[in-house]
Every structure is written in structure tokens, then in C-alpha cells.
Structure 1
Amino acid sequence: MIVSSFVAAALLLLPSAPASSATGPRPVEPVPPPVAVRADPALLHRAGTQARVPRTVAAPPRLSARSWLVADAATGDVLAARDAHRRLPPASTLKTLFALATLPGLPAERQHTVSEHELRGIGDGSSLVGVREEVTYRVADLWRGVFLSSGNDAVRVLAGLNGGWDATIRKMQATARSLGAHDTRVVSPDGYDAPGQVSSAYDLAVFGRAGLRNPDFARYAATPYAQFPAGRWSFGIRNTNRLLTGADGVRRYPGLLGVKNGYTTHAGHTLIAAARKGSRTLVVSVMNPRQGGAYAVYEEARSLLDWGFAAAPHARPVGSLLPPRAALPARAAAAPQPARSPRSPAAAPPGRPAPGAPPTDAVSVATLPTGGDGGSGDGSLLLPATFVGSAFLAAGALWWVRRRSTR
């Protein structure tokens, strides 16, 4: 069979009369589309505002907050940020990390009767939901106390159920690291002012995005009103996130999914907020506005959400909320893959630009080579090359035999 193949190949290679009709050109194999080079993650470590939008799109709003960030919650793409990694006190927005670390291990329907010692150590001036000793609560009740009333008393009880205050701190720190939130240092799980306790607009947005992916977290964060047990009776509580409830003269934001607000003397006002409009969900974080009063944090978050929804279809990311290991760029020699949609949840996160790439304030595009890594290195081309060489030899032999026969 192999000899027959050689002969057939040789006959094809023999000189022949011109063909009566010319064959058309070989179809060109499709070339993979260009792959966008995502933003250098170091861009978010720069001071000032970072954004990449065409001139036809408005620049991000000028805010008084010391630090802020707006990102696409589905892809993790950061659309714009200011001093994203600046370490500042987080106040009660740190409760989002507390929830991420402890929610999975505490069944919502579990019941617990609070003892006196569980409420010790609560800081002076703390926000409280009204947990009382000798009263039995469901874990779900306590979580509503955390999310709606920012109750440090509820945090104390849940931390006790989670293994204790110190164990909860370690778990929160480990959770932050696993999410790629390296600016956060936990000292007090409830967010109460403590020396050395810091986070950043970047980390808070990471926590908010991760929370939206947890159904229990998302449900508690979006609850505007609830009843809180008090023994034989209960009382109403209201979410302190004014963008969610529309309280105190703050207009409710359409499509708001909630998340968490906070305030301490040292931190000022802080907020993580998320909203959905059509098929897009945005998450924003705002830390310590310096103008506009107690409710400025909500209005500045509103401005970021408005800008984000308008700019998202045109903006190029300046970073990613994805964990570092997921943000590693693909091996340069890897075979090209079809480009993903910028809004795809599986879109490749940012990596450092290749040498010679355009500056990070420009939209960088790189076309991957169409030939893979330049060779398989496993001898897979050896056999076809052998067949071709043999065919040429066979063709030469047949031509020589025909020449002699003609003579």
C-alpha cells in the first residue's frame, strides 16, 4: 500500500501537458483574530485617576473621596479607579470579608442561645442591632443584623460560632489573600477602628464582587427591611445603605443590589455598592469623601455607577479584580485561541504587556503568530517529510526509465 502511494505521488510529479483548465487558488486558512493585550496590573498602583476611554466618552467624575473604583462585576474588569491600592481604614465595609470567610460554615437555620460572655469586648460607640443574652436566634437572624444594622453585637456572636475572635481574624486574612486582596489587614472583624487595620478601594471591590456570587450574601446585602427577634416579640430593622432604601433624603438607585456601607471616626464614610442595568452589573467602592457631608459617599457612588454604565461599552480595562493566579498571562508560545468577548466571564485577565507593546495608557493589541510555537519538537513532521522525499526519488526513477524506453 505504501509503494502504491509512492507511485501515485510520483506520477503526479511527472511532467505532463498543460491542463485544459487552471485550478483556483488554495483557500486561505482563517487567521485567528487579534488578541487584546489587557492592562498592566501595575497601572492600578499608580497615584491618581486611571481610565482608558475614547475621546468621545466622558472622563470619570471628579470626586472628593480619597480612593474609589468601578468595575464590571461579571468579568472583573476595572473600568476606572483612583488610588485603588491606597491603604485606608475600611470601617464596617470590612464586614463583607467577615461574611465571605464565615458564611459558608454556618447553616442559616442553626439556632443559638446567646450567653453573656459572647457580648463582651464590643467597642464603645459601636453600631448595634440589639442582640440580647438568653435569647435564641437563628444564624439567618444574626446575619440580617450584620448586613442591615451593621451590628457589631451580631458579629461577636457569629465569630464565636466560627471558632472565636482570633480564629475568625486568621480566616478572614486567609480569605482576603485567596481572593488577591493584599492591601487588607484585619485586626477587628467588625471593622471597628483598630491600630493597623486597613483595606483599599481595590480590595473592597473584590469583596463586593465575590459576595455577589454567594446567594446567601447577595440576599442579605439586598434586603432593605426585616424583623429582628427579641424573645417573645420582634422589632423592625432597616438597611443603613441609603442607596438601597432611599432613606434620609438619598434617592434610591435603580437596580441597586446593595452590599455594605460603613462609618467610623477614623475611616470616615465608606461604601461598597453594586447595581444591575440590563445585562450588566457594576460594583463600586468609595472610601472617605472629604466634601459633601454624611451622605456624600452615596452621591459619589451614584456618580460612579452612572458613569460606569455609560462608559462600559467603550472603556478599556485598567486592571482586574480577578485573583493573581487567574491573572497570569498565557505562555507566549501557546497556540493562538479565538478572542473572547470583552464581557465574557472567562475573558483573560490582565497581564503585563510584552516588550515593545504600546504604553499602558493606550489600547494595546497584539496578534499572536499563526504557527503555534514554531515546531512541535516531537518528530511529528518527520514521517510526512519522508513520504515526500521518497515520492521525489520514485518520480526521478520513473522519468529515467521512460527516457531510456523512448531511446
Structure 2
Amino acid sequence: MKVRLLVATATAVLLGTGVPVPAAAGPAAPVPAAPAPVPVARAFVPATGGAAASGVPASGVVPPAPCPKAPAPRVSRPPRPSPPPAVPSERAVGGPALDTAGLVVPPGAARPPAVTAISWLVADLDTGEVLGGCGPHEYGTPASVQKLLLAATMLPRLDPRQVVTVTDEDMDIEPGSSAVGLVAGGRYRIETVWLGLLLQSGNEAANVLARLGGGADGMAGGVRAMNEEAHRLGALQTHAVTPSGLDGRGQFTSAYDLALIARACFADPTFRRYALTETHRVPAQPAQRTKGFEIQNENQLIYRYPGALGGKTGFTDLARHTYVGAAQRNGRRLVVTLLGAEPQPARGWEQGAALLDWGFSVPRGSAVGRLVEPGELTAASAAAPPPALAATGDPRPAAASGPFEDGLIARWPVAVAVATAVALLGAALLWRRRAGRPR
């Protein structure tokens, strides 16, 4: 009985301070099974993997092999942040075959093209079938493809005809980062702000939209809404810290999650129109003495790939090149997502185009998994006993995905509490000793 009490007390302390506890301390979120079985996948896994790493029966696994990689020049980049600990139930979302750091494709499919991306995924926007991927549930930093999560969250909330005023706080973006050219005090239709976000990847536009959609809490409320929408879509590995995708501590996503987010975006006709818009004129702001100017869509896929539906580019020194693109051919609509690519020997959109070509070559009905439906995982979680942290309602703590040093910093409240308790006990004993002495 005493042991159980000690274990319960220790678990409560760990949960209260945000320190991870063993999986046995609480039930894992259930992952609904696919409505129909998919063909057994061939999983190419690294040499350290195997059947257990790929999540498919040993009989369906070819000898271990890595993802096909194109040679890329070495570049200087900041150290990659430590991702959150892997959660088995999250890595199995969409099917057990997707739980691999290697390549997974349907039986009989051609080998995908070699790309420089660290991870990628190709899926059918209409059926939700995942046609293949490389490390689909591996964590990566999103850069500006995170703006798609902002779009999925805020497009239904904001009236595109409303005129809004840009604030000084909206203009607080990293010097030298992508901006569309909005000015503080300027008045713009929300539709213009959306086009500035999606065509030119304007980070100040992202701040405006997050602030407007965040309600009384402004931009912070907007980011919180983005995380709530990611959870609703089933993108359990996604955690937003900035609305624009500018790097932030604890900000991660995965190729699989990006496909879920992109699918939600392309289900919206307004987004589809914006994504294929080639040019837009931003109006002059006489009060700020700025002239009007024209912006162009930076996604080369819409100009150079037959049947392109649009998408989003992204880049930071940390994330490198990220990309989401979609296209239609012979009645099929496919989406490709990739993270951590280098622009040589092919740019991000070109790597995406090559993977789309491969995806269209995969026979209909062939799949290695599926994209879960919006609300599917949250409905399953609601039917199960709530986890210990559900009462907080907060998104995953950013500290959980920081580097090792951040983990030590995140534990300082525990050390302070212990030190305080020891100090109080010592003070009490000293007081008792002094009270017994003559004055």
C-alpha cells in the first residue's frame, strides 16, 4: 500500500511539473483502425531497423535499405533542435506501416525518385490513401509551410471583405525575413492579406491574420487556435509557436501531419482560388505615403507543372527547404509534402513535382496507409478515459521539444520545490533548538 502511495505521489509530482512519465502511467490515445485493409506495404528501413521499426509483418519487408537520396552540397546550418520523445501511438496514426524512418511504398510500385528531403509523403487528397513516404512521422521544422495550418484555422473565421488596419506589433518580424510589404497603419482587405501570405509568404501578413483570428488574446490566441486545429485534424506531431513558421523553440511537424493540413486547405474553395492566383495588386496607402504594387505567386509548380493546384514553399536556415504541392491528373488529386530539402541538384518544388509524377504512376487503390479524417482521433479520445493532462487544455509544452539543456531548465521548479522544503525543515529544527536555550 505504501509503495502504491509513493508511486501515485511521484507520478502526480512529475505530471504537475511537466516531466515525462512512463507510458504505463496513463492510457495512450487510441488510433482508429482503417475502415478497410490496405495492401501489405514494402518498407525500406535503415540498417538499424527491421520489421519492428516498419510496423509491418516480416514477410512484407524487403532487406533493409534507406530512402533514395540525391547528393546535396554541404551547407552551414544551425544545430537541429532535439525533437519531442517519440510517441508510438502518434507514429502509427494512419497505419502501422507508416511507423518507419525509412521508405515505405506499396507492393509492385516503382522506386521513388531520389530527393534531398529528409522526409516526405505522397497522398490522395480525395480518398485519403497514403501512396508512399520516407520517414512520414519523423519530426521536422516547418518554416513557411506552417502558414497552411494558419490558413486551415483562420479561413473559416475571417471575412475576406473586411478591411483591417495593420498595427506596429504586426510588423514585428525577424529582420530580413519574408514580407509582402504591408505597412503599419495601412488599411487592407483581409483577402489582400491572405494573398500576401500565400503568394509572397509575408510574415507580417501571418501576424495580422493570427491576431484577428485569435480574439481577445490576439496573436497568442491565434497560435493556440492553430494548435487546437492541428489536434482536431489528427496532426498530433505538430506544434506551432509562431503563426508564420519562423523558427521557434518547440516548433515541429511531420510530413504526414502536413498532408492532413494540406488536405483541409484544399477542401476549401477559397483556398484553392488563392493558391492558383498568379498576381495581385496591393493598394496604395496615401496616409502612409506608400504606392500600390503587384505581388506574384512564388510557387513555381503552378506555372510549370500541368494540372498544378498550388501549395506552399518554405525556408529557414534551420528548417532548410520545405514544400507542399498538389496537382490533378486523370481524375486523381495528389498532394506531396517534404521537409529538410536542399535546393541542389533540384529545388524544393522540383523535388515535389518528381514525387507527384511518381505518385501518379502508383496504381489506384494501392496504399501503405491513410490520412485520418478531421475529428476522428479527437472523437476516439473523447470516448476513452481522459489522460492525466487533459484538464489543462494547453498545447504540448514547447519545453518538451527543446534541447537537453532546455530539459534541465524545464525541471528547475522541481529543484526549487525540493530545496524550499529542505530549507523550511531545517529552519524549523533550528528554531526548536534555539527555543530551548536560555536567553
TM-score, with length taken from structure 2: 0.62
Q: Are 2:124 and 1:66 equivalent residues in the alignment? A: no
Partner of 1:289: 341
Flag structure 2 segments of 5+ consecutive residues without an equivalent.
Answer: 1-34, 40-93, 379-439
Q: Which amino acid aligns with 2:255?
A: A
Q: Are 2:377 and 1:319 equivalent residues in the alignment? A: no
Deviation for aligned residue 1:59: 2.0
Partner of 1:234: 292
Q: Which has the larger radius of gyration?
A: 1
Partner of 1:266: 318
Distance of 1:306 and 1:150 partners within structure 2: 26
Segments of 4+ in structure 1 off by > 4 A?
A: 324-328
Conserved? CA contact 2:130–2:370, under 8 Å: yes
Distance of 1:208 and 1:195 partners within structure 2: 23
Aligned residue for 2:325, secondary structure, equals: strand
Q: Which amino acid aligns with 1:312?
A: P
Deviation for aligned residue 1:36: 5.3
Residue from 155, 158, 161 that aligns with 1:106: 158
Distance of 2:201 and 2:152 partners within structure 1: 15
Quick check: 38-47 or 185-194, which moved more?
Answer: 38-47
Distance of 1:46 and 1:324 partners within structure 2: 23
Q: Which one has more relative contact order, counting CA pairs under 8 Å at least 6 apart?
A: 1
Q: What pairs up with 1:146-185 in 2 under 5 angstroms? A: 146-162=197-213, 163=215, 164-185=218-239
Distance of 1:260 and 1:325 partners within structure 2: 24
Distance of 2:270 and 2:296 partners within structure 1: 18
Distance of 1:231 and 1:96 partners within structure 2: 28
Aligned residue for 1:37, secondary structure, equals: coil
Deviation for aligned residue 1:134: 2.2
Distance of 1:281 and 1:36 partners within structure 2: 21
Conserved? CA contact 1:66–1:290, under 8 Å: no
Conserved? CA contact 1:66–1:289, under 8 Å: yes
Deviation for aligned residue 1:63: 2.0
Distance of 1:320 and 1:327 partners within structure 2: 13
Q: Rate the CA distance shift 1:65–1:75 in 2: closer, same or farther, 3 A.
A: same
Deviation for aligned residue 1:116: 2.7
Deviation for aligned residue 1:96: 0.2
Partner of 2:9: none
Partner of 1:276: 328
Conserved? CA contact 2:232–2:377, under 8 Å: no
Conserved? CA contact 1:79–1:312, under 8 Å: no
Conserved? CA contact 1:93–1:260, under 8 Å: yes
Q: Rate the CA distance shift 1:103–1:36 in 2: closer, same or farther, 3 A.
A: closer
Q: Are 2:357 and 1:306 equivalent residues in the alignment? A: yes
Distance of 2:253 and 2:133 partners within structure 1: 15
**Identical-residue share of aligned pairs (%):** 40
Conserved? CA contact 1:273–1:284, under 8 Å: yes
Conserved? CA contact 1:178–1:323, under 8 Å: no
Conserved? CA contact 1:69–1:80, under 8 Å: yes
Partner of 1:37: 37
Deviation for aligned residue 1:290: 4.0
Partner of 1:351: none
Conserved? CA contact 1:67–1:84, under 8 Å: yes
Q: Which amino acid aligns with 1:244?
A: I
Distance of 2:335 and 2:248 partners within structure 1: 27
Conserved? CA contact 2:234–2:376, under 8 Å: no
Q: How many positions carry a matched residue from both structures?
A: 284
What is the RMSD of the two structures over their aligned residues, measured on CA atoms? 2.1
TM-score, with length taken from structure 1: 0.66
Deviation for aligned residue 1:53: 3.0
Partner of 1:27: none
Conserved? CA contact 2:232–2:375, under 8 Å: no
Distance of 2:311 and 2:349 partners within structure 1: 12
Aligned residue for 2:156, secondary structure, equals: helix
Partner of 1:95: 147
Q: Are 2:140 and 1:140 equivalent residues in the alignment? A: no
Distance of 1:114 and 1:171 partners within structure 2: 21
Flag structure 1 segments of 5+ consecutive residues without an equivalent.
Answer: 1-34, 246-251, 329-407
Aligned residue for 2:118, secondary structure, equals: strand
Q: Which amino acid aligns with 2:174?
A: G
Aligned residue for 1:207, secondary structure, equals: helix
